[in-house]
Amino acid sequence: MITGLDHVAIAVTDLEEAIARFAEDFGIPLSGREDVPTEQTSTAFFPLSGTRIELIHPMDGQGPVAASLAKRGPGMHHLCFSTDDIVADMARLQAKGYRFLSEAPKPGAHGTQVVFIHPKSTGGVLIELAQHPVDGGHS
């Protein structure tokens, strides 16, 4: 079951500049940074109103975020719903015809399991589903 808006992700070409914008100009405290090697992505998190803004940047200039920046430039990248059962939600949505970018959930930031729904299935919005570990939760 989808339980909330986990985060909104923004692809950035200059992570330090973007962190300064959100932290200093907008005054939203940076809560942490994390590299996600499975996605070749460096991330920075700004919790706000029970959700988070997540800046995403390619690790080592490669990976899916690098491809997105090359194709579409910087900007809104995806939104993420939290779920309490990612496998069940994936199966339920697949049964309705939704296409996913991977066959099964993969490790994401904060110890989550994540999977992405293809934007062609969702009216052009890349949507991630994330299940947090039972003992964990938000950072």
Shortest Å, Cβ 117 to Co ion: 12
**Tokens linked to 78:** 């995806």
Does position 127 interact with Co ion (CB under 5 A)? The reply is: no
Task: Provide the mask over 16-55, with x wherever binding to Co ion is found by CB under 5 A and - wherever it is not.
Answer: ----------------------------------------
Does position 80 interact with Co ion (CB under 5 A)? The reply is: yes
**Tokens linked to 128:** 């991630």
DSSP string, 73-101: -SEEEEEEEEES-HHHHHHHHHHTT--BS
> Which residue type is seen at 60?
D
CA 116 to chain centre: 9
Which of the stretches 2-10, 33-41, 65-73, 82-90 binds Co ion when contact is defined by CB under 5 A? 2-10
> Which residue type is seen at 131?
Q
Kindly tell me which residue out of 11, 128, 129, 131 binds Co ion, with binding defined by CB under 5 A. Answer: 128
- Point out which residues bind Co ion (CB under 5 A): 9, 80, 128
